[in-house]
Amino acid sequence: SPPLHDALKPLSWLLGTWRGEEGKGDYPTIKDFKYKEEVKFDHVGQPNLEFSFCSSHYETGKPLHREKGFLKIQPGTSHLALVNTQNVGIVELSEGEVKGQEITLESHTIGRMTFGKDPAVTKIQRTFRLVDADTLEQVVHMETSATAPAQHHLSIQYKKVA
Ligand code: HEM
């Protein structure tokens, strides 16, 4: 693959394929659940990473929530934008910061299909953190049209597999 764009050096720790075997999900309005998820961060030499998050059912392995998008960095700064498409019919634009090996992001725009199910997601907050050289963690909080302020939805640790 081409050399990593200089602007992406602060994000190089995300690159690769990661697999989470025991994600934990909850929300005040739903039953607690466990899930698996494979995450890939890749690049083509541009000042952005492309990613995919593919979750699956904890027991059956059946595909569940899926996301694909780009993580952009404002060159020369620690300011990030996450441009993300979710298979449930949501598009997410989040912004935030990278500090060392931790990223915090909060949505400023969420687009939604006219025929999306209620409740609507009204805010998404994410953190990514490198726990150690081959362990990545993601935590997601969200707010919906039925529940505010933002509350926990997902926590997962991934191991680096490639
Ligand atoms: C439920 C949003 C990622 C599994 C929900 C609900 C919303 C939501 C709005 C309905 C809550 C309610 O009824 O009050 C999101 C957003 C995500 C995300 C914005 C990403 C940022 C995931 C992932 C999984 C997942 C990765 C992994 C399997 C579930 C499950 C339910 C649920 C099992 C409950 C059952 C259902 O209503 O379908 N999510 N979700 N979600 N989510 Fe997520």
pLDDT at site 34? 98
Alpha-carbon gap, residue 138 to 14, rounded angstroms: 11
Does ligand 1 have an atom closer than 6 angstroms to the CB of 156?
Answer: no
Which pLDDT belongs to residue 1? 79
Chain centre distance of CA 99: 17
Q: Quote the ligand 1 centre to 44 CA distance (angstroms).
A: 31
Ligand 1: centre distance to CA 58 (Å) = 14
Average pLDDT, integer, range 135-146: 98
Burial zone of 160 (CB within 10 Å; 0-12 exposed, 13-18 middle, 19+ buried): middle
Q: What is the pLDDT of residues 26-79, one digit of tens each?
A: 999 999 999 999 999 999 999 999 999 999 999 999 999 999 999 999 988 999
What residue's CA is closest to ligand 1, atom 22?
65
- Asked if residue 36 lies in contact with residue 55, where contact means CB atoms within 8 angstroms, the answer is yes
The tokens for 112 are 């939604």
Q: What is the pLDDT of residue 160?
A: 98
- Is the CB of residue 145 below 6 angstroms from any atom belonging to ligand 1? no
Task: Give the class (CATH, top level) of 6-160.
Answer: mainly beta
| Domain ranges, ordered by start, for the chain | 6-160
Phi, psi of 8 (to 5 degrees): -90, 0
Question: Does 73 sit in the ligand 1 pocket, CB within 6 Å?
Answer: no
**From the CA of 51, how far away is ligand 1's center (Å)?**
19
ipTM over 0.95: yes
Measured distance CA(34)–CA(58) in Å, rounded:
6
Q: Rounded CA gap, 31 and 28, in Å?
A: 8
Q: Is the CB of 39 under 6 A from ligand 1?
A: no
Alpha carbon distances (Å) from 121 to 45, 60, 81, 92, 116 = 33, 27, 19, 10, 10
Neighbours of 86 (CB within 10 A): 17
27 in contact with ligand 1, CB cutoff 6 A: yes
